[in-house]
Structure 1
Amino acid sequence: MKLKKVLLATTNAGKVKEMKRLLGFYGIDAEVPDEDLRIEEGSSSFLENAYLKAQAYWERYRKPTLADDSGLVVPALGGYPGIFSSRFYSHEYGGKEEVIATKDDANIRKVLRLMKEVKDRRATFVAFLVLNLGYSGYWSKGECNGVILTEPKGSGGFGYDPIFQPEGSEKSMAELTPEEKDLLSHRGKAVRNLMSIIKNGGLT
């Protein structure tokens, strides 16, 4: 069996754009669902949350489904935002942040506020992918180490990209070209790892 098309278990525009680009490199067409199922991510791990998304969208559409759960892990903040990355602005930890422009902006402002006097600025972007085929499945992980900047830089990417500088780079994630980001990013690494795994499983 050759994997030619997958349904993305997300309607997040940033993730969709990246996944379409990353999967397209392998000749896989990424389909976007026509509804957001709004899965309750009650788990304590990225992997379990990705599994919950993949399972829910599989049950709804009955198509090969690829789910991503990812986020920013900052040791100086006790591992936060972590699995709460997309909604960190509303989390009790560190106090809630008002949404003035966008949720991404509120998340960034909160992290910068909490990191204002912190010297240890290490951070890691983490991504877990789960591919649900109904009869079987695969999962993979990707990580990108770096540091939290003191102010946003760049207009590319999405999420925390403007305040994250990957290890070995002098640019923020938001200043990288799509090609540069795919090479370094947690999601790019997770996709490449997944392709290697499913190739060994006879799907590509």
Structure 2
Amino acid sequence: MTGRDPGSAHRLLVASRNTKKLDELRRILLTAHVRDLVVVGLGDVPEFPEEPETGATFEENALIKARAAARASGLPSVADDSGLAVDALNGMPGVLSARWAGRHGDDLANLELVLAQTADVPEERRGAAFVSAAALVVPGGGPEGTDSEIVVRGEWRGRLTREPRGGNGFGYDPIFQPEGEGRTSAELTAEEKDAHSHRGRALRAMLPALLALAES
């Protein structure tokens, strides 16, 4: 890294109010020695109307959020769309993961509904994956002053447990047991989860672009 004055570091907007997502990106950047990016969230910029997540895929929704944040703030913006894809539910809840039970962000209701819907599914068919698509939009970062955009994807395979375990993480973490693990995602430490999670994998795939942004 260059010895840039910290006062000239780029601000990088994460289009989320979820402090755990912001902290996760900060830890990944720190581990990768990317120090010229200051991660801020939606609570750190003037409020703007957020676009509805109408995409049919995680990638489309991540781009919708990142474009809206970059357009409103003028800052390089990262957004992710992530969720749980359950094999026995034909890949659902998928992009509907945050509102599967009907109300956006009701983690407990969403989790309980998935458990109820898979109550009769035998152990050998309880496969699932956490999926994350992350988009980076840099205003004026493309040819002739156009915005530059990249989208990356990370997946984390595992299986559903029959009851929640663990108090770390959020969302469906307490019922997701990663491949090769005896613990659920909610029983892993933050560092363990960063190393293996879907969002961690997606954000690490984005690191070359973030490094280039930090050095620009």
Whether these two folds match at TM > 0.5 is: yes
Pick aligned residue for 2:63 from 41, 51, 58: 51
CA change 1:198–1:22 in 2 (3 A) is closer
Matches within 5 A, 1:136-175: 136-175=148-187
1:106 aligned partner = 109
User: Quick one: which of 126, 130, 145 aligns to 1:125?
Assistant: 130
Larger Rg: 2
Question: Which deviates more from structure 2 when the two are superposed, residues 31-40 or residues 117-126?
Answer: 31-40
Question: Which residue of the partner structure matches residue 94 of structure 1?
Answer: none
Q: 9-18 vs 187-196, which deviates more?
A: 9-18
Contact kept in structure 1, 2:164 and 2:175, CA below 8 Å: yes
Query: For structure 2, which runs of at least 5 residues remain unmatched after alignment?
Result: 3-8, 141-147
For the pair 1:29 / 2:34, whether they are aligned, the reply is no
In structure 1, the partner of 2:22 is: 16
Q: Which amino acid aligns with 1:32?
A: G
User: Taking every aligned residue pair, what percent have the same amino acid on both sides?
Assistant: 39
TM-score, L = length of structure 2: 0.82
CA contact (8 A) 2:48 2:72 kept: no
**Partner Cα separation in structure 1 for residue 180 and residue 209 of structure 2:** 27
Q: CA deviation at 1:202?
A: 7.2
| Displacement after TM superposition at 1:144 (Å) | 0.3
Aligned amino acid, residue 119 of structure 2: K
Pairs within 5 Å for 1:53-68 = 53-68=65-80
C-alpha distance in 1 between matches for 2:50 and 2:19: 15
> CA separation in 1, counterparts of 2:192 and 2:48?
30
Cα distance, 1:4 vs structure 2? 4.1
CA-based RMSD: 2.3
Q: What TM-score does the superposition give when structure 1 sets the normalisation length?
A: 0.87
SS in 2 for 1:69: strand
The more displaced of 131-140 and 156-165 is: 131-140
Alpha-carbon spacing, 1:192–1:17, altered in 2? closer, same or farther (3 Å) = same
Does structure 1 conserve the Cα–Cα contact (< 8 Å) formed by 2:13 and 2:75?
yes
What are the ranges of 5 or more consecutive residues in structure 1 without an aligned counterpart? 92-98
